[in-house]
Amino acid sequence: MSSLPGTAAGRVTLVGAGPGDAELLTLKAVKALQSADVILFDDLVSDEVLELARREAKRMLVGKRAGRDSCRQEDINVMMLTLAKQGKHVVRLKSGDPMIFGRAGEEIASLEAEGIPVSVVPGITAGLALASRLGVSLTHRDHAQSVRFVTGHSRKGDLPEGLDWQGLADSRTTTVFYMARRMLPKIVEKLGAFGMSAATPTTVAINLGRGDEAIWRGPLAELVAAAETMDIDAPTLVAVGDALGVGMMVAAAEDEWRRAG
């Protein structure tokens, strides 16, 4: 693959930046950031994460965020290709884990089609960061046998089509909805229509792992109203299921999170 002209030295590493807290990067992610020539990052990647990068690395914001102007995916693909063909080590830095809701599949396909070597460094995905933050075992053996990560909106910005609402309404599976903010009232309505109890434990978190983080825990019946009191433009994560009813108190968790390690 790397025998194509001009590609010998260039390569791309997709790196998971985790939820925001720089200490939640993996050692391998830090190593990639410290050997990068160029870093293409999403606007959910925090400044403290970017500070871990090699001083000489060029940092370029290519973020996409619901409802805002941003680079098109095609433009990002072309940018990565062009830089890699110039022999650069390109780090594509994505919040959370690259392989969940990050369009990494399209980026990898585009790079491989041109013979650019690609590797991927996993990251702490937001759903797992939330679980640690709250002390909630997503698969507590008394409450859930599986955990599910679901996108909160479709390509068109509406509810995702073809979702198995019957399965999602089962409170014995823990479900984490990513990017769920704008569709939240519709999601809650669907869950109720498919029989999920209004008393099912839920959580909504914004700005997870950042200084302006806010977390609410309560029953499904109060979820929409609680979310409405939170910053509508902040990245939002919603989790539902019986397993959310267990775990540490938020206050205690907050306290301990700061002294963790």
Cα–Cα distance, 91 to 41 (Å, whole number): 8
> Of 147 and 240, which CB lies nearer to its own copies in the complex structure?
147
Asked whether position 20 contacts its own copies by CB under 8 A, the answer is no
Contact 210, 44 (CB under 8 A): no
Asked whether position 86 contacts its own copies by CB under 8 A, the answer is no
* Window of 61-69, 79-87, 137-145, 224-232 that interacts with its own copies by CB under 8 A: 137-145
47 noted as active-site residue: no
> Of 82 and 154, which CB lies nearer to its own copies in the complex structure?
154
* Window of 76-84, 196-204, 214-222, 242-250 that interacts with its own copies by CB under 8 A: 242-250
Contacts 24+ apart (CB under 8 A), 41-46: 41/17, 41/93, 41/94, 42/17, 42/93, 42/94, 42/95, 43/70, 44/20, 44/95, 44/96, 44/235, 45/17, 45/93, 45/94, 45/95, 46/17, 46/20, 46/21, 46/22, 46/210
Contacts with its own copies by CB under 8 A: the residue count is 85
31 noted as active-site residue: no
Q: Determine the 3-state secondary structure of 157 from DSSP.
A: coil
Q: List the one residue from 121, 183, 206, 238 that touches its own copies (CB under 8 A).
A: 121
Cα–Cα distance, 122 to 93 (Å, whole number): 11
> Of 23 and 233, which CB lies nearer to its own copies in the complex structure?
23
> Of 35 and 82, which CB lies nearer to its own copies in the complex structure?
35
Asked whether position 45 contacts its own copies by CB under 8 A, the answer is no
> Of 145 and 231, which CB lies nearer to its own copies in the complex structure?
145
Q: For residue 74, what is the enclosing H or E element? A: helix 73-85
Binders of its own copies in range 193-232 (CB under 8 A): none
CB of residue 152 to its own copies, shortest distance in Å? 10
b/e per residue 221-252 (b: at least 16 CB within 10 A): eebbebbeebeeeebbbbbbbbbbbebeebee
The active-site residue, picked from 58, 64, 186, 190, is 64
Asked whether position 82 contacts its own copies by CB under 8 A, the answer is no
Binders of its own copies in range 139-168 (CB under 8 A): 139-143, 145-151, 154-155, 160, 162-164, 166-167
The active-site residue, picked from 37, 42, 97, 170, is 42
Cα–Cα distance, 86 to 136 (Å, whole number): 46
Supply the residues annotated as catalytic. Answer: 42, 64
